[in-house]
Structure 1
Amino acid sequence: MSQVVIVGAGPIGATMALLLSKKGIAVKLVEASRDFKRLFRGEGLMPSGLDALEQMDLLGLLAEVPHRAIDAWEFLLSGRTLFRVDEPIEKNGKHYTTVVSQPHLLAAIIEQAETYPQFEFIQGEPVGDLLFSSDRVSGVKLASGQEITADLVIAGDGRNSVIRKKAGLKLTKLQNNLDILWFKLDSGVFAKSANIFYSILQGREGFGLFRASSGQFHIGWGLHADDNYDWQQVDWGEKLAATSPPWLAEHIVKHRESLTKPMLLSVVVGRCDRWSIPGLLLLGDAVHPMSPIRAQGINMAFRDVIVAVNHLVPLLTQSSADLSKIDAALPQIQLEREPEIIRIQKLQAQEIAQAELLHNYAFLRWGAKTFAPIIRPGIRASWLRRQKQLRQGVTKVCLVV
Structure 2
Amino acid sequence: MADQRASATTRETTVVVVGAGPGGCVMSYLLARSGVDTVLLERHADLDREFRGYFFQPLAVKLFAEMDVLDDILALDHDEVRRPEVTAFGRSYHAVDFSELPKPYDYGLLMEQPPLLRLLIDRADELSTFEFRPATSVTDIVREGGRVVGVRANDRERDEDLELRSRLVVGADGRFSTVRKAADLDPGLFDSDIELLWFKLPADAVRSAAQGRIERDGILLYFGLGEEDAQAGWFIEKGTYPDIRQRGIERFRREIAAVDPAIARHLESFDQCSLLHIEPGLTERWVDDGLLLLGDAAHVASPVGGQGNGLAIQDAVVAQGTITTALEMGDAGDTGDEPIPAERLRRFESVRRPAVEEVLRLQRRGERVVTWYVQNGESVPEWAVAPLVRGLFTVAPKLPSVRRTWRTFALGPTPVSVDTAAFEES
Q: Determine if the TM-score, normalized by the shorter chain, exceeds 0.5.
A: yes
Cα distance, 1:216–1:260 mapped onto 2, change above 3 Å: farther
Kindly state the Cα deviation for residue 239 of structure 1 after the two structures are TM-superposed.
2.4
CA contact 1:69–1:97 (8 Å) conserved in 2: yes
Cα distance, 1:306–1:86 mapped onto 2, change above 3 Å: closer
- Matched with 2:235 is 222
- Alignment: residue pair count: 392
CA contact 1:269–1:291 (8 Å) conserved in 2: yes
Give the residue type in structure 1 aligned to 2:137: P
CA contact 1:315–1:321 (8 Å) conserved in 2: no
Aligned Cα root-mean-square deviation (Å): 2.7
Find the residue that maps to 1:141 and give its secondary structure: strand
Cα distance, 1:280–1:252 mapped onto 2, change above 3 Å: same
Find the residue that maps to 2:62 and give its secondary structure: helix
Matches of 2:101 and 2:130 in 1, distance apart?
41
Find the residue that maps to 1:223 and give its secondary structure: strand
Matches of 1:117 and 1:180 in 2, distance apart?
42
Matches of 2:293 and 2:388 in 1, distance apart?
48
Structure 1 window deviating more from structure 2 (15-24 vs 163-172): it is 15-24
Cα distance, 1:92–1:272 mapped onto 2, change above 3 Å: closer
CA contact 2:171–2:297 (8 Å) conserved in 1: yes
Matches of 2:25 and 2:184 in 1, distance apart?
25
Kindly state the Cα deviation for residue 210 of structure 1 after the two structures are TM-superposed.
1.2
* Per-residue Cα deviation, 1:344-369 (whole angstroms, up to 9, x for no partner): 01111111122233342555964452
CA contact 1:23–1:317 (8 Å) conserved in 2: no
Structure 1 window deviating more from structure 2 (308-317 vs 87-96): it is 87-96
> What is the percent sequence identity of the aligned residues?
26
Tell me whether 1:90 sits opposite 2:90 in the alignment.
Answer: no
Structure 1 window deviating more from structure 2 (39-48 vs 120-129): it is 39-48
Kindly state the Cα deviation for residue 391 of structure 1 after the two structures are TM-superposed.
1.1
CA contact 1:66–1:100 (8 Å) conserved in 2: yes
Matches of 1:50 and 1:37 in 2, distance apart?
23
Tell me whether 1:351 sits opposite 2:366 in the alignment.
Answer: yes
Give the residue type in structure 1 aligned to 2:286: W
Mapping 1:2-401, distance limit 5 Å:
3-78=14-89, 80-81=90-91, 83-85=93-95, 87-94=97-104, 95-143=106-154, 144-176=160-192, 178-188=194-204, 193-195=207-209, 197-225=210-238, 230-233=243-246, 234-235=248-249, 236-244=252-260, 249-250=261-262, 252-253=264-265, 255-257=266-268, 261-317=272-328, 321=336, 323=338, 326-359=341-374, 360=376, 366-367=383-384, 369-370=386-387, 376-382=393-399, 383-400=402-419, 401=422
Kindly state the Cα deviation for residue 72 of structure 1 after the two structures are TM-superposed.
2.7
Cα distance, 1:87–1:376 mapped onto 2, change above 3 Å: closer
Scaled by the length of structure 2, the TM-score of the pair is 0.84
Identify unmatched segments of 5+ residues in structure 2: 1-11, 155-159
Matches of 2:40 and 2:411 in 1, distance apart?
29
Identify unmatched segments of 5+ residues in structure 1: none
Kindly state the Cα deviation for residue 10 of structure 1 after the two structures are TM-superposed.
1.1
CA contact 1:237–1:259 (8 Å) conserved in 2: no
Kindly state the Cα deviation for residue 48 of structure 1 after the two structures are TM-superposed.
1.7
* Per-residue Cα deviation, 1:206-257 (whole angstroms, up to 9, x for no partner): 221111235423111111149698111332333211222xxxx14643x445
Matches of 1:57 and 1:292 in 2, distance apart?
28
Give the residue type in structure 2 aligned to 1:167: A
Structure 1 window deviating more from structure 2 (122-131 vs 142-151): it is 142-151
Structure 1 window deviating more from structure 2 (326-335 vs 365-374): it is 365-374
Matches of 2:294 and 2:172 in 1, distance apart?
6
Scaled by the length of structure 1, the TM-score of the pair is 0.89
